[in-house]
Amino acid sequence: MRITTWNVNSIKQRLPHLLAFLDEARPDVVCLQELKCQDEAFPRAEIENAGYAVEALGQKAYNGVALLVRKPLAIAPDSVRRGLPGDPADEQARYIEALISGETEQPVRVASIYLPNGNPVDSPKYPYKLAFMERLRLHARALMEDEIPVVLAGDYNVIPEPADAADPEAWRSDALFLPASRAAFRAILAEGYTDGLRACDPRDGLYTFWDYQAGSWQRNFGIRIDHLLLSPQACDRLVSASVQKHLRGLDKPSDHVPVTVELSAG
């Protein structure tokens, strides 16, 4: 089972790139973030015509997450969770989760996550980020209780380590790299989760985001903020992990690129 996470930074603008990627790479599950559209505007027909079932949680102009599942895999009935537990007042479209399985594939619970950016740090946005991460930690712990493999995939807006940035000093005071953000990320890992990409490739220079400004892509001034965290049962099935960096060089690309893990059938 190949599971990809990709912040597309507007599904409408990036639809041709997404459809080409689905045809080229044929991932089994795609976790999308930053759709920037409401559910009724999501290009469901085009994606279903490409052979994928769709579950989406949209929001006008901001946020938005989705799960695309390639047939013959299927989403288990009544398994879709829209929204992260822990704050009934939170109306931001940042979390969707489902149980996915097939005739030859053991079930895997997959979530698409668009974690808050948190900037500026002296605004309510940063406490919201940390609170969201604590809710995610608690939910991540609860998901492991039934011992079904779990993959928490998405744009975490966290640079875990200095090696995950071309210039760590440039991010020192940014919400993505503050000590509290990195500690909250480690706390999720401490629940028993593994960073899928780092488990397969410990090299420096693995980035998933390049800003549109200041020639960041041309200078490879990137950061790694898109992650797939695997529960122990999922990690036992981990075969490989990779970054589809070439997609950043397309015309009018997203500022993020896909990241993929492959799990054995189990």
Q: Which of 52, 95, 114, 207 is catalytic?
A: 114
Q: Report how far residue 76's alpha carbon sits from residue 264's, in angstroms, rounded to the nearest whole number.
A: 19
Kindly tell me if the per-residue pLDDT of 220 is higher than 80: yes
Q: Is 34 labeled as ligand-binding? A: yes
Whether residue 139 lies in the annotated active site: no
Burial 125-159 (b: 16+ CB within 10 A, else e): ebebbbebbebbbebbeebbeeebbbbbbbbbbbb
What pLDDT does residue 266 have?
74
Each residue's pLDDT tens digit, 31-69:
999 999 999 999 999 999 999 999 999 999 999 999 999
Each residue's pLDDT tens digit, 155-201:
999 999 999 999 999 999 999 999 999 999 999 999 999 999 999 99
Each residue's pLDDT tens digit, 60-105:
999 999 999 999 999 999 999 999 999 999 999 999 999 999 887 8
What pLDDT does residue 102 have?
87
Kindly tell me if the per-residue pLDDT of 227 is higher than 80: yes
- Split at pLDDT 50, 70, 90, the class of 214 is confident
Look over the chain and give the mean of its residue pLDDT values, rounded to a whole number.
97
Backbone φ, ψ for residue 25 (5° rounding): -95, -25
Each residue's pLDDT tens digit, 118-154:
999 999 999 999 999 999 999 999 999 999 999 999 9
Sign of CA dihedral 127, 133, 137, 139: positive
Q: Is 256 labeled as ligand-binding? A: yes
Q: Is 117 labeled as ligand-binding? A: no
CB–CB of 65/154 below 8 Å?
yes
CB–CB of 39/56 below 8 Å?
yes
Backbone φ, ψ for residue 236 (5° rounding): -60, -25
CB–CB of 212/252 below 8 Å?
no
Whether residue 114 lies in the annotated active site: yes
What pLDDT does residue 7 have?
98
Contacts 24+ apart (CB under 8 A), 53-62: 55/80, 55/96, 55/98, 56/96, 57/82, 57/83, 57/93, 57/95, 57/96, 58/93, 59/35, 59/92, 59/93, 61/36, 61/37, 62/36, 62/92, 62/93
What pLDDT does residue 104 have?
76
Return the axis-axis angle of helices 125-143 and 179-189, rounded to nearest 10°: 10
Q: Is 220 labeled as ligand-binding? A: no
Q: Report how far residue 124's alpha carbon sits from residue 116's, in angstroms, rounded to the nearest whole number.
A: 11
Domains and CATH numbers, the chain: 2-263 (3.60.10.10)
Average pLDDT for 219-227: 98
Q: Which of 28, 139, 155, 227 is catalytic?
A: 155
What percent of the chain is predicted at pLDDT more than 70? Answer: 100
Whether residue 90 lies in the annotated active site: no
Q: Which of 17, 139, 227, 256 is catalytic?
A: 256
The three-class DSSP label of residue 107 is: coil
- Split at pLDDT 50, 70, 90, the class of 243 is very high
